[in-house]
Amino acid sequence: MAAGAVMPVPEGIGAKVKKALAWSLLNNLLIRLGNFAIGIMIARIVAPEEFGAFAVAITVQAILIALAEMGLSSDLVRNGRIRERAGTATIVALAVSGLLTMCMILTAGPVSASMGAVEARPVLQVMSMTLLISGLSVVPYARLQRDFRQRAMLAIDGISLVVGLLVTVGFVWLGLGAMALALSRVIAQAVVCVMQYGLTRMRPTLAFEPAVARAMLGFGTPIALANVLSWLVMNAGHLVVGRLSGALMLGFYVLAFNISSWPMSALGQAIRAVALPGFSHLGKGHDRSRVLANAVALTWAVSLLIGVLLAVLATGVVSVVYGDRWMAASTALAGLALFGALRIVFDVFATYLIAEGATRSVLVLQVLWLVALLPALAVGVSRHGLAGAGWAQTVVSLIVLLPAYLVALRRAGVLWEPMLSGLTVPLLGAVPAALVGWYVYGVLPEPIVALPAAGFGATATYLLVLGLWLRRKFGALDRRRSGPVPEPAQAQGGARQETATVVLTEPMQTVRERA
């Protein structure tokens, strides 16, 4: 091949990605619905004070698990040669997760006391075992992701959900209270670990190679730190609103933020499950700019529609779903909804940078995001209340983070022109869609009727304007018929973390403990 020539996308990758994405979306939808239903059931059988102790354990675990995996599975997905590097990855993962497990056990008492829930100490100590199991699961999880086996992940997550429910109900019946929830998490995650090894036909191996370990830690440490910062970024609004406006306004803000996270929960997490292996299968000579531009265009087109619907119909969504007493949350939701749409795009950007080995760029972007967001939130809340909190998130994302990501991508060799086209064209459909949704909702008197009617009208308008463009973009994902996905002969460079969940919008869940 001549110097400077662009290689075609590997055969079968487009089809594999689309199939894996479909299974990932189905998995995410079913598991979310299952967790929602189980949450309602748990709320009816567990006392509030007992669930509060469990919530303390979950909060601590969420922070530590972001550090425990250290980006090792992402490094394996990106570089390939998983069986060759499995022994070193397992030793490093167990060393890090084991250290964090001991820290969580030894500090459970002081941490629980500092959070006003002394009774959470034994729950925290039991929950710490999930960190150790997550370390053992790194290698088989990476194998499943690398091979696009989202159908197998659906089976694993479904079984873990059922196991977690049965164990919880059984232990609650035995009178264990909050401990029942912690034990169910540990048992369900152990089941996940065993199933991952079984479905990949692997077994734990231990074989330490110092050079491989150094490369993995060099790649994964920025990702682990970025995950912690990501958790801070996602909770920055909670902290500022709670401090400046009090507990009542914080409750409204948290509800609005949770609603704005619907696109990320439904779409973003499904995309990130296939984005990293998809980008990783592209060699250095492939037209990565075009592949990334198509992925971003489709992601943005879908997430923007959802964000516009939530923003324009914020009052209707809050009123119909949660009731009029929560209506104050709609003032924050308008801005947060657009932020929620941008989060998914940032997820794709971060995943691509990770695939390129630019994990330090991801960490720097996360630091920049937090530094810019805190003062913006303070000013927004002080001057405009909940509305200011919501729009501060969107303004910082557009003015600070989006340009910063584009600069980082340009440094990674990505051309801006196709990227900007994919980001701007969906806006042509978003404006008339927003106007139609706003008009229909205002005309019809009953919110329960006006909300779906406005949503349908806005969506139809959006698809009418962008239908042909969307068809071309979806067609661009289709490459030649399936062919084997080659395993790289050698590692393709540095280190890198999991999909996009890193610096972008929320800490990454590598081991997917959704029990």
Contact 111, 84 (CB under 8 A): no
Token digits of residue 342: 């941008």
Ramachandran angles phi, psi of 478, nearest 5°: -80, 115
- Give the DSSP per-residue string, 427-481: HHHHHHHHHHHHHHHHHSS-HHHHHHHHHHHHHHHHHHHHHHHHHHHHHHH--SS
Scored b (16 or more CB within 10 A) or e, 183-212 reads bbbbbbbbbbbebbbebbeeeeeeeeeeeb
The single residue listed with the structure tokens 């909190």 is 389
φ, ψ for residue 488 (rounded to 5)? -60, 140
Is the distance from CB of 441 to CB of 316 less than 8 angstroms? yes
Distance CA 10, CA 487 (A): 12
Question: 227: closest CA among 88, 412, 69, 82?
Answer: 69
Q: How far apart are CA 90 and CA 80, in angstroms?
A: 15
Q: Residue 8, class by beta-carbon neighbours within 10 Å (0-12 exposed, 13-18 middle, 19+ buried)?
A: exposed
Q: What single DSSP character describes residue 507?
A: -
pLDDT at 447: 83
Name the residue among 383, 381, 391 with its Cα closest to residue 339.
391
- Dihedral sign, CA of 513, 307, 382, 386? negative
pLDDT at 36: 66
How does DSSP classify residue 128?
A: T
C-alpha separations of 199 from 73, 150, 421, 479, 510 in Å: 17, 12, 41, 28, 17
Residue 287: CB partners within 8 Å, gap ≥ 6? 6, 7, 8, 9
CA quadruple 165, 170, 173, 176: dihedral sign:
negative
DSSP-assigned states of every residue in 31-83 = HHHHHHHHHHHHHHHS-HHHHHHHHHHHHHHHHHHHHHSTTHHHHHHHH--HH
CB atoms within 10 A of CB 434: 19
Q: What is the DSSP letter of 514?
A: -
Are 300 and 423 a contacting pair, CB within 8 Å? yes
CA distance 172 to 45: 8
Q: Is 88 helix (H, G, I), strand (E, B) or coil?
A: helix
**Hey, CA dihedral for 361, 66, 24, 92, is it positive or negative?**
positive
**How many CB atoms are closer than 10 A to CB 91?**
17
Decide if 359 contacts 216 (C-beta within 8 A): no
pLDDT for 481 equals: 36
Distance from C-alpha of 150 to C-alpha of 168, rounded to nearest angstrom: 26
Q: How many angstroms separate the Cα of 291 from the Cα of each of 277, 280, 288, 499?
A: 13, 12, 5, 16
Interatomic CA distance for residues 374 and 380, integer angstroms: 10
d(CA 47, CA 328): 28
pLDDT at 369: 93
DSSP 163-229: HHHHHHHHHHHTT-THHHHHHHHHHHHHHHHHHHHHHHT--------HHHHHHHHHHHHHHHHHHHH
Tell me what pLDDT residue 44 has. Answer: 62
For residue 169, count other CB atoms closer than 10 A to its CB.
Answer: 16
Cross-strand partners of 191: none
Q: Measure the CA–CA gap between 188 and 467, rounded to whole angstroms.
A: 43
pTM for this predicted structure: 0.75
Tokens of 288: 């990565």
- Contact indicator for 193, 65 with CB cutoff of 8 Å: no
- Integer angstrom CA distances of residue 357 from 68, 121, 138: 20, 39, 19
Low-confidence stretches of the chain (pLDDT beneath 70): 1-18, 20-25, 27-28, 34-56, 59, 66, 114-117, 268, 281-287, 473-515
